Structure 1
């Protein structure tokens, strides 16, 4: 069998190539208006101590933030991913928002219980943009004042 999927039972020669079958999954999700919305990933640094001394057996603030968002949920189309370190230790808790073909944003100085709605709101606004660039005035106030980094998409040229 070649990469086009010819020779697979039930797949005709006019069918889409097999390697393109999962492209919609890779490229994004469908929103309620049936428009393609690129997938959004929310990364949370689970090793974050938020500038505090934390015992070896204690739950770190970053892990608590991840747990709270896992248990209470995120807007549709946003995938939660834990990472061990985002190297923003002095300004934690830290999150990042990223997606294919989009700018990546890193936000810090987040509290594991006080900023849950801020994170949900900011992630939903990010998700709803085609390029990840939420206009500054439309971002949650905490995101406006605590953007650690903004990283262009790999595909971007002349940025």
Structure 2
């Protein structure tokens, strides 16, 4: 049931997420999560700034009240679930831009002034790393 992946900074995209609040799929039958995962992979491949961020995907992050969700994680850092994105390149770049700042941070906390506009208002939860709680 579990698949081993890189243990560094990663954006894990839910590939089964809804397209939007009121639509499961696009006209071609593709889920929003699969479209966002593809956009993240394309954005990562197109920009060397994102080389240190893994783009991974899995079915269902259990954030079904929201759509197009991702989990941002790295060892020893607070993790975040973000959602309600449009599954496009603008959202993918904003997520990856934030992921770069997140990877460079000491504990996963990125100052608000460094947040890309495209991630503001998209945070759903934060999770402590194993063995820690946030202060």
- The equivalent residue for 2:35 is 64
Q: TM-score with structure 2 length normalisation?
A: 0.79
Backbone CA RMSD of aligned residues: 2.1
Q: Which runs of 5+ in 1 are unaligned?
A: 1-24, 27-38
User: What is the aligned residue count?
Assistant: 122
Residue 110 (structure 2) pairs with residue 130 (structure 1): no
**1:131 and 1:54, CA in 2 relative to 1: closer, same or farther beyond 3 A?**
same
Judged with a 3 Å threshold, the aligned counterparts in structure 2 of structure 1 residues 158 and 139 are, in CA distance, closer, same or farther, namely closer
Give the equivalent residue in structure 2 for 1:11: none
Unaligned segments of structure 2, at least 5 residues: 1-5
Map 1:84-99 onto structure 2 (within 5 A): 84-99=59-74
What is the DSSP-based 3-state SS (H/G/I as helix, E as strand, rest coil) of the residue aligned with 1:73?
A: helix
| Distance of aligned partners of 1:62 and 1:157 in 2 relative to their CA distance in 1, 3 Å threshold | closer
Which structure ranks higher in relative contact order (CA pairs < 8 Å, sequence separation ≥ 6)?
A: 2
Structure 1 runs (4+) deviating above 6 angstroms are: none
TM-score by length of 1: 0.68
Contact map agreement 2:72 2:79 (CA 8 A) in 1:
yes
Report which stretch shifted further, 69-78 or 113-122: 69-78
